[in-house]
Amino acid sequence: MQEMIKNVYGDTTAVEFKPEIPFDLGGDQPLDCISAYHITEPVSHWLYVTEGFKQFGFELTFRLKSNDETAPEWPISMLNGLATYVFTQERHLTVGEMIDFKRPLVNQPDCFLTTLMMTEEPKLKSADESVKILQIVPITPDEAMAAKGWLTEKFLKLIEIQIKDGLTDLRRFSLLIQDNIANAIARGRDKDGSDTDSVPSSKIYFNISEPRKARVEFDALAGFHLLSVMPGRIPHEKELHIISPEHNITFIPSDEGMVKGVNDTWVEVYMTPDMYREFYENLEVKRKKFYLSGFDGIEFAVNDTYLRDHEGSISGVQQWR
């Protein structure tokens, strides 16, 4: 790893962060080492490089814009937390994957970065062909939704252009505040569609009497995702799934609108183009119910979000009014 850094950045000394007790001897930090390098070009920043993910076929880098003379240590906690997640879930991270922290990376009022996106490492190449180097690029909530609403590959190319070398500036605003970028993403979505085929929901309920008489209910979390993802799926003749721990809903583009129960846990909603447009116009991130023209017997409802603990049990309710 040191030789790889030297080939790109020349002689630079690493600050190494190693666990006091190795993971295979009962330690609680899976990574063997995290090395931090102070880089001065193109601007002063710290480059963090992991060692310990090899069994999953990757290693990670993270570049943090900083004038600090010593390496900030919060990225060490972030990388160790990510390692715990990977080792526990046995996740093989890939380019384009996003991990939602559900909070800003640091406890600062001007930090809006909440999601870690895996990108191609722009400068460092592994000598081991079995190990791919991924770079973590934090993004904002609306950027994450934009990525899900479009093709991940296209969004990554946009990120590469707009965020030079994937350098993290904790104080940067969303790229979408720039009209030209927001419009480019919208045009790309309308042209290419979305490769996101499912969105989450904490709870789903449905009751079907007949194809045109039913109640289909999902939560506001699903509604939030649907607003971003649905325009890139249904108009492009692509199915879209809402997935909860107990039940699933599948929206299917169709020439005939109806609701069909597949089994006790899965319902299919067949949508005509007009039905989709009216459904999307009624969709909001709050509690509500609505009907569609010509389908008065089908009630759609958006409800509160149920919060779940690490074991999947309901632990509370997030209300949307």
DSSP secondary structure string for all residues of 71-98: --SHHHHHHHHHHHHHHHHT----TT-E
222 and 108, same domain (yes or no)? no
For every residue of 262-308, DSSP letters joined together read: EETTEEEEEE-HHHHHHHHHH--SSSEEEEETTEEEEEEEEEPEEEE
Whether residue 28 contacts residue 83, with contact meaning beta carbons closer than 8 Å, is answered with: no
Q: Tokens in use for 311?
A: 């074991």
Is residue 239 located within the same domain as residue 304? yes
Q: DSSP string of 213-235? A: EEEEEEEHHHHHHHHHHGGGTGG
Instruction: Point out the least confidently predicted range of 22-36, 149-163, 235-249, 278-292.
Output: 22-36
Could you tell me if 157 and 274 lie in one domain? no
Model confidence at 316, pLDDT cuts 50, 70, 90, reads: low
Phi, psi (degrees; rounded to nearest 5) at 254? -155, 160
Q: Which long-range contacts (CB under 8 A, 24 or more apart) does 69-73 make?
A: 69/38, 70/15, 71/15, 71/36, 71/38, 71/46, 72/46, 73/17
Q: Is the pLDDT of residue 279 over 90?
A: yes
Interacting residues of 43 by C-beta distance below 8 A, sequence separation 6+: 65, 167
Q: Which domain holds residue 314?
A: 198-318
Tell me: do 37 and 146 sit in the same domain: yes
For residues 273 and 210, the model is more confident at 273
Whether 229 and 221 have beta carbons less than 8 Å apart is answered as: no
Q: Do 176 and 300 share a structural domain?
A: no
pLDDT digits 0-9 by tens, 157-191: 999 999 999 999 999 999 999 999 999 999 999 99
Look up the CATH number of the domain holding residue 302: 3.30.1360.230
**Closest-CA residue to 115 (of 147, 160, 83, 85):** 147
Domain boundary pick from 192, 217, 244: 192
Residue where a domain stops, chosen among 192, 213, 246: 192
Residue 11 has a pLDDT of 82
Residues 104-127: pLDDT tens digits?
999 998 999 999 999 999 999 888
Sheet holding 295-303, edge to edge: 205-210, 213-219, 295-303, 288-292
Q: What is the mean pLDDT of residues 270-276?
A: 96
Q: Identify the pLDDT of residue 317.
A: 61
Supply the pTM of this predicted model.
0.89
Same domain assignment for residues 297 and 202: yes
Fill in the DSSP letter of residue 13: P
Of 192, 220, 255, the last residue of a domain is 192
CB atoms within 10 A of CB 36: 20
| Contact yes or no for 61/49 (Cβ under 8 A) | yes
Predicted confidence at residue 62, as pLDDT, reads 98
The pLDDT of residue 127 is 82
Residue 321 clears pLDDT 70, i.e. is over it: no
Q: What is the mean pLDDT of residues 236-245?
A: 97
* Cβ burial, residue 223 (10 Å; 0-12/13-18/19+): buried
153 and 249 together in one domain: no
Of the two residues 65 and 8, the one the predictor is more confident about is 65
Residue in the block written with tokens 């940067």: 172
Residues 166 and 208 placed together within one structural domain of the fold: no
Pair (36, 153) in one structural domain: yes
Provide the number of structural domains found in the chain: 2
- Specify which residues 307 forms β-bridges with: 316
pLDDT band at 9 (very low <50, low <70, confident <90, very high): confident
* Residue 253 confidence (pLDDT) above 90: yes
Q: Are residues 136 and 244 in the same domain?
A: no
- Dist. CA 151–CA 50, nearest whole Å: 28
Same domain assignment for residues 150 and 228? no
* Distance (Å, whole) CA 63 – CA 48: 6
Q: Are residues 243 and 150 in the same domain?
A: no
